[in-house]
């Protein structure tokens, strides 16, 4: 569905013939929209709609003059601001958008009350604000407790700082809550119900467990060759898989950042267990056989649910573990695309390449070219991106709710074959270079928000 969207600058004015619900539009814009000035015009911003009267004015086509009082009723800043505008002649409704809210945790202690910090995505929020201001729209950041039936209190950027005030109910909310506990809380489930009632789009509304991802993907026969054997960890499944594979990885199904992973290797008629977290001494524990190991494992299983996964002999870079993170996002046509990719190289003493465990990021072609030739490197990267897009498409089709971005982790074995390692529904924003420019993932994200705002946003 293609809509005609115009970039419009809203210009606030003090008074308007004692009627704040009059707006001034140029003759050329009225003609372009074929708007009937004898009928009331409904102006919509987010969930707020007000009836107005059109007045022709000798102003430029890309401007609309709106009384400060009406902007306040719409809960929009009283300032010149760019929006994208769509006019529906059948309903005589002018939609200004996107009104874009980002939901996350915010540091608001007494010392920094005037300068909130959005944790690991603070810089990304600044980029989203700059991009939205340039292209058109209104962006703000809010916490779960800032939402109520009466409205939302959020932070928007003005005059070099983030200001907290009441903001309009948005068209779209991007969920960047980092806590799995908060994300699955009753409070958040109530929020989702209220957003559905208000026709507010929410995307990436849940973490994906490793078990769910594995089960969704192995339903597709053509993907099975790229999937390591994976099963829920029980005594029987673990014993069976040890007999089939020399190396296994035991992973918490709700784990992240490479924490609490156990690498289990068969050696010398015994087993060697290595931990991704903990002291150096704990990273290599030998067991005489299965039963002593399984007894040692019990405290881990009491705290978390684990799955067991076949270990694949992946290629290494300078003798360190190597994998690739491909960031996939939906675009303005609601299609998946690979926005960016990085190679992740583990720290010297780690068997996981996660950045949180001391790994480093390198441009993927640089790594692949050092391991092969440039032509082969480009083919491998292209194949990984194609595979990542296919995975994103499948998971979004089979998951509840809207999914707008996914981080796909892929490894290459010694024959150059790609293997799907993990899928992340809340991919870190630290995987792209932070420069003075706005990163591609921010641009792609706004494209999807615009699609949801003006096209209805069905999956």
What is the pLDDT, as a whole number, of residue 352? 67
pLDDT top residue among 359 and 388: 388
Q: Mean pLDDT over residues 166-180, rounded?
A: 96
pLDDT value, residue 436: 59
User: Nearest to residue 238, comparing CAs of 314, 297, 285, 326?
Assistant: 297
- At 423 the pLDDT is 94
- For 178, how many CA atoms within 13 A lie in the half-sphere containing its CB? 13
Show Cβ contacts of residue 230 under 8 Å, excluding neighbours closer than 6 positions.
Answer: 210, 211, 214, 218, 307, 308, 309, 310
* Residue 80 pLDDT > 80: yes
Residue 258 pLDDT level (bands cut at 50, 70, 90): low
Residue 422 scores a pLDDT above 80:
yes
Contact call for residues 232 and 287 (beta carbons, < 8 A): no
Give residue 253's region: left, alpha or beta (phi > 0; psi -120 to 50). alpha
Q: 100-203 has which CATH code?
A: 3.40.50
Q: What is the mean pLDDT of the segment spanning 431-451?
A: 84
Q: Which of 186-190, 387-391, 432-436 has the lowest mean pLDDT?
A: 432-436
Q: How far apart are CA 323 and CA 303, in angstroms?
A: 28
Mean pLDDT of 6-22: 83
Q: 356 Cβ partners below 8 Å, 6+ apart? A: 257, 258, 259
44-49 average pLDDT score: 93
| 184-241 per-position pLDDT tens digit | 899 999 999 999 999 999 999 999 988 899 999 999 999 999 999 999 999 999 999 9
How much is the average pLDDT of 33-42? 92
User: Cα angle vertex 131, ends 127, 134, to 5°?
Assistant: 145
Positive or negative torsion for Cα 217, 221, 225, 228:
positive
> 6-97 with 100-203: one CATH topology?
no
Answer whether residue 283 shows pLDDT above 90: no
Q: Which one has a higher pLDDT value, 107 or 257?
A: 107
For the stretch 97-141, pLDDT in tens is: 999 999 999 997 645 456 899 999 999 999 999 999 999 999 999
Count CB-CB contacts under 10 A for residue 445.
25
Percent helix, strand and coil across the chain, each to the nearest 5: 30, 35, 35
Q: Judge: domain 314-428, CATH 3.30.470.20.
A: yes
When pLDDT is cut at 50, 70 and 90, the band that residue 355 belongs to is low
| CA separation for the pair 352, 348 (Å, rounded) | 10
Please report the pLDDT score of residue 57 as a whole number: 86
Q: Is the pLDDT of residue 457 over 70?
A: no
Would you state the pLDDT for residue 99?
A: 98
Q: Select the CATH number that applies to the domain covering 6-97 from these four: 2.40.40.20, 3.30.70.580, 3.40.50.300, 2.70.98.60.
A: 2.40.40.20
Supply the pLDDT for residue 340. 93
- pTM value is 0.92
Q: Report the mean per-residue pLDDT for the chain.
A: 90
pLDDT of residue 280: 46
Weakest-pLDDT range from 221-235, 318-332, 347-361: 347-361
Q: What is the pLDDT of residue 393?
A: 97
- Domains of the chain, residue spans: 6-97, 100-203, 229-310, 314-428
Asked if the model's pLDDT at residue 256 lies above 60, the reply is: yes
Higher pLDDT, 160 or 359: 160
Distance CA 386, CA 274 (A): 33
């Amino acid at each position: 569905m293609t809509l005609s969207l115009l970039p419009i600058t809203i210009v606030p004015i003090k008074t308007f013939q004692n009627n704040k619900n009059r707006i001034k539009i140029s003759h050329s814009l009225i003609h372009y929209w074929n708007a009937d000035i004898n009928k009331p015009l409904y102006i919509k911003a987010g969930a707020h709609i007000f009836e107005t009267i059109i007045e022709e004015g000798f102003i430029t086509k890309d401007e609309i003059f709106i009384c400060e009082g009406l902007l306040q009723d719409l809960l929009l800043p009283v300032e010149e601001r760019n929006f994208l505008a769509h006019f529906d002649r059948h309903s005589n409704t002018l939609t200004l958008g996107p009104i874009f809210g980002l939901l996350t945790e915010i540091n608001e202690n007494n010392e920094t009350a005037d300068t909130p910090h959005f944790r690991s995505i603070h810089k990304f929020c600044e980029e989203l604000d700059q991009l939205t201001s340039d292209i058109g729209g209104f962006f703000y950041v809010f916490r779960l407790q800032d939402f109520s039936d009466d409205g939302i209190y959020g932070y928007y950027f003005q005059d070099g700082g983030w200001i907290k005030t009441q903001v309009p109910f948005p068209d779209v909310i991007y969920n960047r809550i980092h806590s799995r506990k908060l994300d699955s809380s009753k409070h958040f489930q109530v929020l989702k119900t209220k957003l559905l009632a208000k026709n507010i789009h929410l995307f990436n509304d849940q973490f994906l467990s490793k078990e769910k991802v594995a089960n969704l993907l192995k339903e597709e026969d053509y993907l099975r060759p790229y999937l390591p054997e994976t099963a829920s960890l029980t005594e029987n499944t673990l014993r069976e898989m040890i007999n089939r594979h020399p190396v296994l990885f035991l992973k918490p199904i709700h784990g992240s950042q490479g924490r609490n992973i156990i690498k289990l290797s068969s050696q010398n008629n015994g087993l060697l267990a290595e931990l991704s977290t903990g002291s150096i001494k704990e990273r290599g524990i030998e067991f005489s056989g299965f039963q002593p190991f399984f007894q040692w494992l019990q405290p881990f299983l009491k705290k978390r649910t684990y799955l067991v996964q076949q270990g694949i002999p992946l290629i290494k870079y300078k003798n360190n573990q190597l994998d690739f993170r491909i960031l996939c996002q939906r675009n303005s046509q609601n299609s998946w695309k690979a926005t960016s990719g990085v190679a992740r190289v583990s720290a010297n003493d780690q068997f996981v390449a996660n950045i949180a465990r001391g790994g480093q990021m390198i441009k993927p072609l640089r790594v692949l070219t050092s391991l092969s030739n440039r032509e082969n490197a480009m083919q491998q990267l292209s194949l990984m991106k194609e595979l990542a897009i296919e995975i994103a498409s499948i998971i979004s089709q089979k998951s509840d709710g809207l999914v707008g971005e996914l981080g796909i982790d892929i490894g290459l074995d010694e024959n150059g074959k790609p293997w799907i390692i993990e899928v992340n529904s809340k991919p870190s924003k630290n995987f792209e270079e932070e420069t003075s420019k706005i990163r591609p993932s921010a641009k792609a994200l706004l494209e999807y928000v615009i699609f949801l705002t003006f096209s209805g946003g069905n999956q």
